[in-house]
Amino acid sequence: MKLSATERLRRFYARFSGNDHVLVLINADPDAIACAMAVKRLLWRKVASVTISNVNVIKRPDNIAMIRLLGVKLIHCDEIPGEHRYTRVVLVDSQPNHSASFARFTIDAVIDHHPKTEMNIPFADIRPDYGSNAAILTEYLRAAKIKPSVKLATGLFHAIKTDTRNFERQALIEDVKAFQFLFRHANSTLARKIEQADLRLDFLKYFKIAIENMRMHRSRVFVHLGTVMSPDVCVLIADFFMRVNPVTWTVVSGLYDKKLIIIFRNDGIRKNAGKIAKKSFCQFGSAGGHKSMARAELPLKNLQDAVDVNENKVLIQWIIERIEKKEKLASCKRNEAEMPD
């Protein structure tokens, strides 16, 4: 049975009391930041306090600009003591097994739009068909009859644009409706300032590495950047190559925090990056995502018997072979399914 927005909101509110100190956990990106802002607004005057905490290190210029321009107050999860005072924990735009950093918290509510994973949470609203989590939280705000402030509306507006890539990626009519609603309350000039702050001077060296070391294979670009200062570098490079004709796939990897990070992008035509990422690399760590964008994070200790991560050419070849092997299997199954009886 499909629940109404009002009923979802009622069940969400039922998890809290006026004495609760709430922690909103995020792996900070535009969608997660905006959704955390929305949860804080939803719980305003309904709980004792709301704190937003990021589990990742925020280095992307657009994320930094978003936090600064929208006045978002964050505390890194490492700064939260082991015996923390929070009585309720909410996770948005992610799920408990997406990051090892979530394991130290008992999570009471999850609101997410990624493919559902195993969890046992008192309140879980998972809608993987949505292009953005911000659209889901906008429905909550509207069900609560809350008119968003200019900063909140701008954050959610920017998040929907980012996660749907201006509706070029997977989205539902609900994403469009949320976008139209937010447009009336958002500051487009402020949103543009956030969007345009997407490069740092010290990121430019990675573009040089990528261009010099890229491998083009059947309209696909494969790049390994070596050790990176942030996984966001891999995202920027992957998005950059998708703008190059005739590229239809980009797979960009880098080493960060004792993990191999692999970012997937494609044009979404008869492709599913999330499924390929999961099938190719889930045995070594976490992997998954959406039709046109996905990510894998593989602890290096899990790769010791599989590939030498210090040999760039060997590593790239290993990534290519694993992806093509899983794609070939998927293609065979698809062709069998399409064969007439």
Nearest-CA neighbor of 136 among 114, 112, 102, 158? Answer: 112
pLDDT surpasses 60 at 203: yes
> In whole angstroms, what is the distance from residue 249 CA to residue 242 CA?
7
Q: pLDDT digits over 282-291, tens only?
A: 999 999 988 8
> In whole angstroms, what is the distance from residue 94 CA to residue 34 CA?
13
Indicate the length of the chain as a whole number.
341
pLDDT surpasses 90 at 292: no
pLDDT of residue 330: 52
pLDDT of residue 166: 84
Q: pLDDT digits over 33-57, tens only?
A: 999 999 999 999 999 999 999 999 8
CB-CB neighbours of 237 under 10 Å: 27
Could you please report the per-residue DSSP string of 84-135?
---SEEEEESS-GGG-GGGGGS---EEEE-SPP-----SEEEE-TTSS-HHH
pLDDT of residue 29: 95
pLDDT of residue 337: 45
Helix (H/G/I), strand (E/B), else coil: 31: helix
| Contact of 170 with 131, CB cutoff 8 Å | yes
Percent of the chain exceeding pLDDT 70 equals 95
CB-CB neighbours of 85 under 10 Å: 11
Q: With bands split at pLDDT 50, 70 and 90, how would you rate the model's confidence at 196?
A: confident
In terms of C-beta density within 10 A (0-12 exposed, 13-18 middle, 19 or more buried), how is residue 259 classed?
buried
- Domains of the chain (ranges; CATH) run 5-196 (3.90.1640.10), 201-337 (3.10.310.30)
| Contact of 181 with 142, CB cutoff 8 Å | yes
Going by the DSSP 8-state scheme, the letter that residue 246 receives in this structure is T
Q: pLDDT digits over 14-36, tens only?
A: 999 999 999 999 999 999 999 99
Whole-structure pTM value: 0.71
In terms of C-beta density within 10 A (0-12 exposed, 13-18 middle, 19 or more buried), how is residue 332 classed?
exposed
Q: pLDDT digits over 153-176, tens only?
A: 999 999 999 999 888 777 899 999
> In whole angstroms, what is the distance from residue 228 CA to residue 259 CA?
11
Q: pLDDT digits over 227-248, tens only?
A: 999 888 999 899 999 999 999 9
Per the model's pLDDT, the better-predicted residue between 268 and 6 turns out to be 6
pLDDT of residue 137: 98
Q: With bands split at pLDDT 50, 70 and 90, how would you rate the model's confidence at 340?
A: very low
